[in-house]
Amino acid sequence: MEIYLVGGAIRDQLLGLPVKERDWVVVGATPQEMLKLGFKKVGRDFPVFLHPKTHEEYALARTERKTGKGYIEFTCYSDPDVTLEDDLKRRDLTINAIAEIPDGKIIDPYGGCKDLKKRILRHVSPAFAEDPVRILRVARFAARFGNFKVHRETNKLMQDMLAQGEVDALVPERVWQELSRALGEQSPERFFIVLKKAGVLQKLFPEIAAHFTAIKKTLTHAVKLSEDTVVRFAAITFNFDQEDDVKRFCKRYRLPSTYKELSLLVAKFKNKLRKSIKDAEGCVTLLEQIDAYRRPERLRQFLLACEANSAITNPIADKLYRAYQLTKKIRLTPEIIAETDNKKDLRQILHAKRKKQIDLDSCRLKPAAIN
């Protein structure tokens, strides 16, 4: 039995980046031997085990053979005669196909170290084409490592996969998983740049393809403003033509409610900002419409998503945020609540109190940072 540290841990270690998790490959062992050593089996389709003490993942060396379209139908072979080189060959990129033995020696049969130095994302073997998710992973790695380039042969292979209909097999949840992770990287705009070059952007994200140049600029600005992926996504959808485009995108990829709600809020009110903040009535109405008093975090997200598109300048943001600060503590007294039966009337009374507060005190509060 031989054990090797593999994949992302080696890649990040060689790049001088923090290693967040470690994965191991075991060569020359059987599932029965792993269980006898105290490992716990967790892989349903693949022979993956958890270490009894560290709980890190140890996978038996394996090869795979595609048996259908997409990325679900595979047969897995993991007998003890599978070599480390066999296992590494099935991986997506050369920079992820590097291993290390316990004494620190690097094993790199496919040139991953060389590609790391040259900042190249290159597929390991033609088997890359068997899994369309790998197209999204390449794009995500480009977003993570902003100065890495996709090798021309890898780009050609991704184009061929699109032509052969492999991209059609991607399920919504997996597409969103890769997109949402890319949004959290240092250069998220490169996720879309890589997909566009491979011809995949129009297929998966036609709304983004239609406003590609503007969205690249938006994301570059959004990265400077916020690490919040909800904000970054809403900043992207700000560029969509209609609110219905946002709804269709969210439905197609089954987005979590936090992403959907903020994006729809931005779509609904992005063109009303300048007019709304002209007076106390407009400020209070907009704050109530975006539910700022119950959810102040949403106000912050809304302003940042709009600012990423230059739709809201500092003076506009400051005025709306000052209006919120002036009115956020206003409450109805128990006496007023007891004397008013209609909830609509209560809302109107509260609205009037907030408006009056702004009219009285609008010059007293200094601009406040929203970041």
pLDDT tens digits, one per residue of 105-139: 999 999 999 999 999 999 999 999 999 999 999 99
> Does 361 score more than 90 pLDDT?
no
Alpha carbon distances (Å) from 120 to 93, 145, 187, 321 = 9, 10, 16, 45
More confident residue, 243 or 363: 243
Cβ distance 50 to 16 under 8 Å?
Answer: no
Question: If you average pLDDT over residues 310-334, what whole number do you get?
Answer: 84
pLDDT tens digits, one per residue of 150-193: 999 999 999 999 999 999 999 999 999 999 999 999 999 999 99
Q: How confident is the model at residue 273 (pLDDT cuts 50, 70, 90)?
A: confident
pLDDT tens digits, one per residue of 30-43: 999 999 999 999 97
DSSP H or E segment with residue 282: helix 280-289
Give domain status of residue 62, yes or no: yes
Give domain status of residue 247, yes or no: no
Distance between CA 251 and CA 317 in Å, rounded?
30
Of 48, 114, 122, nearest in space to 92 by CA: 122
DSSP string, 66-117: E-SSTTT-EEEE--TT--HHHHHHTSSBGGGS-EE-TTS-EE-TT-HHHHHH
Q: What is the pLDDT of residue 25?
A: 96
> Does 1 score more than 70 pLDDT?
yes
Domain termination site, one of 89, 111, 133 = 111
Give domain status of residue 194, yes or no: no
Give domain status of residue 121, yes or no: no
Cβ distance 282 to 276 under 8 Å?
Answer: yes
Q: What is the pLDDT of residue 179?
A: 98
CA-based Rg of the chain, rounded to a whole angstrom?
26
Q: What is the pLDDT of residue 2?
A: 94
> Does 298 score more than 50 pLDDT?
yes
> Does 72 score more than 70 pLDDT?
no
Give domain status of residue 52, yes or no: yes
Distance between CA 135 and CA 154 in Å, rounded?
9
Give domain status of residue 179, yes or no: no
Question: If you average pLDDT over residues 226-254, what whole number do you get?
Answer: 96
Q: What is the pLDDT of residue 277?
A: 84
pLDDT tens digits, one per residue of 80-109: 999 999 999 999 999 999 999 988 899 999
- For residue 27, give the DSSP letter: E
Q: How confident is the model at residue 13 (pLDDT cuts 50, 70, 90)?
A: very high
Q: 7 - beta bridge partners?
A: none
pLDDT tens digits, one per residue of 201-217: 999 999 999 999 999 99
Give domain status of residue 296, yes or no: yes
Q: Which of 264-268, 314-318, 367-371 has the lowest mean pLDDT?
A: 367-371
Question: If you average pLDDT over residues 240-257, what whole number do you get?
Answer: 96
Q: What is the pLDDT of residue 275?
A: 85
Q: What is the pTM of this model?
A: 0.88
Of 287, 269, 290, 371, nearest in space to 325 by CA: 287
Residues 6+ apart with CB under 8 A from 216: 189, 192, 193
User: How many CB atoms are closer than 10 A to CB 107?
Assistant: 17
Q: For the chain, what is the domain count? A: 2
pLDDT tens digits, one per residue of 334-345: 878 887 878 888
- Percentage, residues of the chain above pLDDT 70: 94
User: For the domain that residue 9 is a member of, what is the CATH number?
Assistant: 3.30.460.10
DSSP H or E segment with residue 24: strand 23-27
> Does 68 score more than 80 pLDDT?
no
Q: Is the dihedral of CA 223, 226, 231, 237 positive or negative?
A: negative
> Which residue carries 């007293």 as its tokens?
364
> Does 73 score more than 80 pLDDT?
no
Q: What is the pLDDT of residue 336?
A: 83
Q: What is the pLDDT of residue 188?
A: 97
Structural domain for 277, as ranges: 273-361
Provide, for the chain, the percentages of residues in helix, strand and coil under a 3-state DSSP scheme, each rounded to the nearest 5: 55, 10, 35
Give domain status of residue 50, yes or no: yes
Q: How confident is the model at residue 67 (pLDDT cuts 50, 70, 90)?
A: low
Domain termination site, one of 93, 111, 129 = 111
Domain termination site, one of 73, 96, 111 = 111
The alpha helices in 97-242, defined as continuous H runs, are 112-118, 133-144, 152-163, 172-183, 189-197, 201-204, 206-209, 212-225, 229-237
Question: If you average pLDDT over residues 249-271, what whole number do you get?
Answer: 95
> Does 195 score more than 90 pLDDT?
yes
